[in-house]
């Protein structure tokens, strides 16, 4: 992601027909985001007034800041995204694998906890369990198969890395951030749930 993706002026285009008060709100948010160090408290207060879909790109930046994905210092934003893209690719490679090769001391019916085949079938069961919920999750926003596959993969990795079982509701939480923000953010924030933190803010920011 290049620096121009964070051009604050371009994040709130197409605001025709909205109230003067809302336009002023957007200007106030932009003023905070222009600073080298973002005023977090000031940003939270503005967020409590809510944002419309007309400012979805601006809202995505705000989510990343308030959930701790972006540091308050703007100059590190691009670096953070590049680092986490690389990290996500590494996580996928290590945890999403094809069926293991046949070995003399291992076979598909093995129940041993250290069996590659046993672990493979457990992964397949987990993937299928998640998939059943993902298929009916936010059909309007996630209509494309690639988006559903992405959400399935994110939830699968979340469970694998945190050694936890999948439960209903995780799909809605992950899909919400997927729709509102972007792939890299959701991968880092959901997969690494042990580091996740939610700021106190009014949910009209959604």
Percentage of the chain modeled with pLDDT above 90: 18
Residue 176 burial (C-beta neighbours within 10 Å; 0-12, 13-18, 19+): middle
Residue 30 vs residues 18, 20, 33, 47: alpha-carbon distances, Å: 17, 15, 5, 12
Checking if the pLDDT of 52 tops 80, the result is no
For residue 180, the model assigns a pLDDT of 62
The domain limits of the chain are: 3-66, 81-197
Q: Which pLDDT tens digit goes with each residue over 98-129?
A: 876 766 666 566 666 667 777 878 889 999 99
pLDDT band at 194 (very low <50, low <70, confident <90, very high): very low
81-197 maps to which CATH number? 1.10.8
pTM: 0.69
Name which residue leads in pLDDT, 163 or 104.
163
Does the pLDDT of residue 188 top 60, yes or no? no
């Amino acid at each position: 992601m290049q620096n121009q993706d964070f051009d604050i002026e371009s994040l709130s285009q197409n605001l025709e027909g909205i109230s003067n008060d809302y336009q002023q709100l957007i200007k106030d948010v932009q003023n905070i985001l222009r600073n080298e160090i973002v005023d977090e408290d000031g940003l939270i207060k503005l967020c409590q007034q809510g944002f419309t879909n007309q400012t979805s790109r601006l809202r995505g930046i705000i989510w990343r800041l308030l959930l701790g994905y972006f540091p308050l210092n703007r100059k590190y934003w691009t670096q953070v995204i590049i680092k986490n893209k690389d990290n996500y690719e590494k996580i996928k490679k290590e945890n999403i694998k094809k069926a293991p090769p046949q070995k003399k001391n291992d076979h598909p019916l093995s129940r041993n906890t250290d069996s590659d085949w046993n672990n493979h079938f457990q992964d397949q069961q987990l993937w299928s369990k998640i998939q059943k919920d993902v298929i009916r999750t936010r059909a309007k926003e996630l209509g494309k198969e690639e988006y559903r596959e992405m959400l399935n993969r994110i939830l699968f990795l979340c469970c694998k890395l945190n050694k936890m079982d999948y439960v209903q509701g995780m799909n809605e939480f992950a899909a919400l951030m997927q729709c509102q923000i972007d792939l890299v953010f959701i991968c880092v924030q959901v997969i690494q749930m042990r580091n996740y933190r939610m700021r106190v803010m009014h949910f009209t920011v959604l």
